[in-house]
Amino acid sequence: MYPVLVPYLKGIHLSLDSLRPWCKEDGWKLTQAEIRHAMSEKEPHQYVEDQKAPTRVRWVPRLKEDVRALLLFTSTAQPPKRSVRPIKGTSVVYTFGDASGSGFGGSTYENEELRYYSGQWESSYSVSSSNFRELANLVIRLESDFADSLLNESEIFIFTDSSTAEAAYFKGTSKSQLLFELILRLQFVHLHAGITLHFVHVAGKRMIAQGTDGLSRGGGLSECMRVEDFLKHIPLNLAVMDRQPTEIKEWVDSWFKGPQELL
């Protein structure tokens, strides 16, 4: 089973179900509010219950891109081996990536070594949206490491302050054509490199404190981004109550009426 393929089956499902009532042109079901409006306007969304299933159905617009993605992922002569869990001795890689208006940068910590990079976008990238540049920075870096055989079935934690980049990875698709292309490239590396990949959203202030924000702005290697301090900025070993006990308790208590004990 390849979970990476699942998001790209949606176009097939929507096409097969396009004969059902209350569907939009793109195959998705109308919301309850839209259905009530359509009923009040007597719009032709009604479905005849005794109608036989048709021999052909109308394909939805996203089917074309989904089929292209499936063809890409299954283009190799031999099916790739999917990493279910890291093997014994697998190295863990921690990577921060950030993109500013005209620049980009990133830092990687692996086997007690720190690597970093920074640069300026070419014109075709610099005029694109910030969401595109944030994700493109991460994808290009992964592709480069994959081409240089640096991934080696590693377990990789990628930290980004772009919630759109994180969401695009987990959804596996996007309505934006540019982001859709980046996700395909990212998922291709994920599938064929045999890596275990984690996308983690972090606050912009954490990116600044760690130092990668400065790299994307041409600031060079920040003094706060030292090998001995790198992991201090990503305390994954701590539970949420260990990180901010007072603030979290007050926030959870605010959900209730009256005083409550937080178990």
Q: Are residues 165 and 207 in the same domain?
A: yes
Question: What is the distance between the alpha carbons of residues 238 and 217, in angstroms, rounded to a whole number?
Answer: 30
**Bigger pLDDT: 226 vs 153:** 153
Report the amino acid identity of residue 58.
R
What is the reported pLDDT for 88?
59
pLDDT given for residue 113 in this prediction: 86
Structural domain harbouring 166: 92-246
Residue 107 DSSP SS3? strand
Q: How many CB atoms lie within 10 A of CB 251?
A: 10
Residue 172 backbone dihedrals phi, psi, to 5 degrees: 80, 0
Say if residue 218 is in the same domain as residue 178: yes
Residue 260 lies in a domain: no
| pLDDT tens digits, 178-197 | 888 899 999 889 888 888 88
Write down which residue in 69, 102, 121 finishes a domain. 69
Specify the residue for token string 């099916």: 79
Q: How far apart are CA 234 and CA 163, in angstroms?
A: 17
Percentage, residues of the chain above pLDDT 70 = 87
Instruction: Classify residue 238 by its DSSP letter.
Output: S
Contact between 165 and 197 (Cβ < 8 Å): no
More confident residue, 177 or 166: 166
Cβ distance 147 to 193 under 8 Å? no
User: Which comes out higher in pLDDT, residue 115 or 52?
Assistant: 115
Same domain, 23 and 106: no
Give residue 48's pLDDT: 47
28-63 per-position pLDDT tens digit: 887 888 888 878 776 655 544 556 777 888 888 889
The mean-pLDDT minimum among 58-62, 170-174, 231-235, 253-257 falls in 253-257
Average pLDDT, the chain: 83
pLDDT one-digit tens code per residue, 70-114? 999 888 888 888 777 766 566 888 999 999 878 899 999 888 888
Residue 226 lies in a domain: yes
Do 38 and 130 lie in one domain? The reply is no
Q: What pLDDT does 170 receive?
A: 87
CATH number at residue 168: 3.30.420.10
Question: Is the CA virtual torsion 185, 189, 191, 192 positive or negative?
Answer: positive
Q: Are residues 164 and 231 in the same domain?
A: yes
Q: What is the arithmetic mean of pLDDT over 5-34? A: 84
Distance CA 221, CA 101 (A): 19
Over residues 196-207, mean pLDDT: 90
pLDDT score, position 21: 78
pLDDT score at 257: 64
Whether residue 199 has pLDDT greater than 50: yes
* Residue 171 belongs to a domain: yes
Q: DSSP label at 205?
A: H
